[in-house]
Amino acid sequence: MIWILLSFVRPLDEIRAAIEAKGARWRAAETPISKMYEETGEVPLGLIPSKPPEGEKGIPISPTPLPSSFNWMDYMTPVKSQGNCGSCWAFGAVGAFEAVLNINAGEPNPELDLSEQNLVSCAKSDGCNGWWIDSALAFIQQEGVCAEECFPYVALDASSGAPCSDTCGTRRFTTRKIQNFGWTGDLIDQIKTAIYTYGPLEVGMLVYEDFVYYSGGVYEHVSGSLLGGHAVVMLGWDDNDSCWICKNSWGTGWGEDGYFRIKYGECEIESECYWMTPAPTEYPYLAVVDAEVIDLGDGDGVLNPGEDAKINVILRNFPGWGSVYNVGGFLTTSADVEIPDNRGAWNDMTPGDTSEMTDSFTISVPDTASPGDLGFIISILGMTETGKSWWDDLEFTLRVGWEQAGWPVKENKVMGSPLVVEDNGEKYVIYGDMEGYLHKKDINGAEVSPFPLFLEDDIRTPAAVSDVDLDDTLEIAVAVMSVPGRVYLCDFYGNILWCDTLSSTITGGVALADLDGEGKKEVIAIDYSGMIWVFDCQGNPVTPFPLSSPDSAGVLGSPAVGDVNRDGIPEIVFGTSKGNLYAIKPDGTILSGFPVSTGTSISGSPSIMDTVIAFGCDDYNLYIVSGYGNVLATVSTDGYVKCSPAFADLNRDGIGEVVFSSYDGNVYAVDLQGNLLPGWPVSVGSYPVSPVAGYLGYEDRIFVLNGGGTLYYITSGGITKEPTPYPTGSSPTTPQVVDMDNDGDPEIIFGYGSGIWAVDIKVTGAPTHWSMDRANPERTGYIATALGTWRKAPEISISSVISG
């Protein structure tokens, strides 16, 4: 039932004041439920309170002492939301029963998902207007509850558009029943005994206005009027905090990720607690674990357009269900593929068994197939232990495309461009993510222990890799966007060597370079306030640093480091928010001819080729300047130029050209005088990232992604080549062009909104000078080409990283 109030809701600050006045141990905050309450006066509840069964005394208290704290959290299924329907009684019953089934099976199974809608629509209840706990459990005991996929939740009841007839035709196969249930009694030790003996309980409680603002801690009522009764799942206790641990049905945005703790004796929560036990079933519950592609084309395990493949669908029979025998199935799809062999078979499966196919399917993908996920259905049949027939439809997807085997890896958002380097003959992918983890993956996408390293705060910029201390092993340097920012140096085997704290947060990445000519590399970083930091390989600040930017302005981008005036001494080059480009010598002085002033913020990172510096500006221009501060060219666009420009020899004249992207949706290629090359600019859509180059066939090619994640592979003449434009994941980073698997053709690897993506370009090629973000693993944004004589870059390996 949805309780509608006529009174105005108590404001949040009044509830917080009441918490403080009472000395309560919980936190109040705005939640999705408090917003609903403030906007509509409604709260999703639904329990009709009832008295304990007449004459019942509850269960005996355990004769042996119970733990001071205990819970069944590992066996719980995910938190759900009852929505705008008074169906808490169904969510409490199903939530407790799912966990009890898992406990009875002896194995956590968060994928077990039974249907609350089955109860809301089919029980002789008031549906969204509420019901009793004991009646809900009696329905599951008599009729059972089916799987969620058989009757998905829609937050309606039979009278409002979700009749019981909407259940699927195979309901009986996924239905589970309660064997026995009962009232625990209202003593704390009785309830603990029931939880410990049977598993989570469905319990009732009273809800007051302040409860909708609960965001953590041990709840007790401090303020507000009574709203009504509510059913939840009680899964444990903690005597140290004198509280019960409960699961709600208000989504993960409320409380402690959807859970809450409540003080013993509060809100009558001990008055209506019910235990249950599961009845056995003879039917199995099969699920698709994986669908392995054994491609009959190039053999890389990825289903490309134009390839045939064997498909091995791996099935698992959930623990706690029945056995299945003589398992076979037929494969169908609505996708534009042929299925030459649509019949498959599996081994017999007892509960908990997993089986590969004993007879796999064969599919044929036309060469005209568009990249994407293809849906398939297995109509599967089998026999139960008693000889009854059983059948089901199991769905799975296969991706058709040009991904590298093992990729994409879907984890956390990645904003810093990944880096592929070689160590002892093996290649690894190094990157940080937005949850603060530093990763080291093998070429198949598997994490290399002891990575990932948790560095606590957002890693938004690329990691840099080199043999910093000349010990013949690689180190990883990375900036963490905390407040203030931090710089870490880790060895290649997962040990943190040092960490230094900056004066403010940092939005640009680090660079590694030998500033003093002694061979070992320094770690260079510039924080958001414009403070320039240089650390030696031990993490000590190098004199005269740190130094403030000469114009006292902020710095958003990464520094470039290179010998821009050919005096044998590298300079630190960076732009500021006041529109000045500086070149700073290792002694802290400004190189003659600098700064170069634009008058508008320089948000991107400058790039250096020999004595030429290219950088973008928020005035919509790209600037090309000499190592003496002379402006050689200005290239106008119709959008911000925030990228890190790349250099590539597109016209094969032996001299590099500048390639850059603009927020006007175009990628530009210009010579060092600022003249557009024939065929350029190339439109790629919204907000393209910084471009990189690869040498394919006989010329440099450009690779770039737009903000939506579409990959473009562009020839020197500005022609987009197949298989691009190629859709991938949104919010991509600058890519790297690298032959990850040593098969002679390059892969394009980049971060995106959910992890790391890698695309296999099936054309013979190799990296060039500017094949990754900031040109090299040290992320210096600098290449030396013998004063314009272009040559193909070597493969990136430990030897090339050590030698610099």
Pairing of strands 259-263, 214-219: parallel
Please state, for a pLDDT cut of 90, what percent of the chain lies above it. Answer: 87
Percent of the chain residues past pLDDT 70, beyond the cut: 96
Q: What is the pLDDT of residues 318-330, one digit of tens each?
A: 999 999 999 999 9
Is the pLDDT at 333 greater than 80? The verdict is yes
Average of per-residue pLDDT across 699-723: 91
pLDDT at 700: 77
Say if residue 5's pLDDT is above 70: no
Cα–Cα dist 532/331, whole Å: 62
- The pLDDT, as a whole number, for residue 701 is 86
Paired residues of 81 in beta bridges: 250
Residue type (1 letter), 370: S
CA distance 122 to 11: 39
Q: Is the peptide bond before 586 cis (omega within 30 degrees of 0)?
A: no
What does the block give as tokens for 555? 């710095």
Residue 226 has pLDDT above 60, yes or no: yes
Average pLDDT value for residue range 192-205: 98
Tell me: pLDDT of 119 over 70: yes
Q: Residue 651: what pLDDT? A: 86
Alpha helices in 616-687 (DSSP H): none
Name the DSSP class of 81.
B
Which strands, in side-by-side order, build the sheet including 419-423?
A: 419-423, 426-432, 437-442, 453-454
512 and 464 in contact (C-beta within 8 Å)? yes
Residue 671 has φ and ψ, to the nearest 5°, of -80, 180
Q: For residue range 484-501, what is the model confidence (pLDDT) as tens digits?
A: 999 999 999 999 999 999
Write down the catalytic residue from 71, 109, 221, 230: 230
State the Cα–Cα distance between residues 18 and 30, nearest whole angstrom: 16
Quick one: pLDDT at residue 745?
86
Position 790 scores a pLDDT of: 42
**Cα gap 509→558, rounded to integer Å:** 5
- For 653, the 3-state DSSP assignment is coil
Per-residue pLDDT, 2: 43
- Write the pLDDT tens digit of every residue in 613-625: 999 999 999 999 9
User: Which structure tokens are listed for 582?
Assistant: 């500086």
- Per-residue confidence (pLDDT) for residue 697, from 0 to 100: 63
What was the pLDDT predicted at 698? 65
Mean pLDDT of the 380-389 span: 96
Q: In the beta sheet, which residues pair with residue 182?
A: 275
Check if 85 is active-site.
no
Q: Tens digits of per-residue pLDDT, 767-789?
A: 778 899 999 999 999 998 743 44
pLDDT score at 426: 94
pLDDT score at 791? 41
Q: How far apart are CA 388 and CA 395, in angstroms?
A: 23
Give yes or no: 88 in active site: yes
The residue among 463, 402, 366 whose CA lies nearest residue 711 is: 402
Average per-residue pLDDT for the chain: 93
Domains of the chain: 10-278 (3.90.70.10), 286-400 (2.60.40.10), 409-803 (2.130.10.10)
Q: What is the tens place of the pLDDT at every residue in 65-113?
A: 999 999 999 999 999 999 999 999 999 999 999 999 999 999 998 999 9
Helix (H) or strand (E) holding 803: helix 798-803
Angle made by CA atoms 206, 207, 208, in degrees to the nearest 5? 125
Q: What is the mean pLDDT of residues 340-350?
A: 98
Output the pTM of the full model: 0.76
For residue range 120-142, what is the model confidence (pLDDT) as tens digits?
999 988 899 999 999 999 999 99
Helix, strand, coil % in the chain, rounded to nearest 5? 10, 35, 50
Left (φ > 0), alpha (ψ -120 to 50) or beta: where does 687 sit? left
Q: What angle do CA 15, 16, 21 make, to 5 degrees?
A: 95
pLDDT for position 324: 98
What average pLDDT does range 336-361 have in this prediction?
97
Q: Which of 248, 304, 317, 565 is catalytic?
A: 248
Active site residue 230: yes
**Peptide bond before residue 450 is cis, with ω within 30 degrees of 0:** yes
Mean pLDDT for 548-564 is 96
pLDDT at 9: 43
Residue 192 token pair: 């603990």
Among 71, 85, 88, 102, the one annotated catalytic: 88
Return the pLDDT at 10: 54
How far, in Å, CA of 769 to CA of 767, rounded? 7
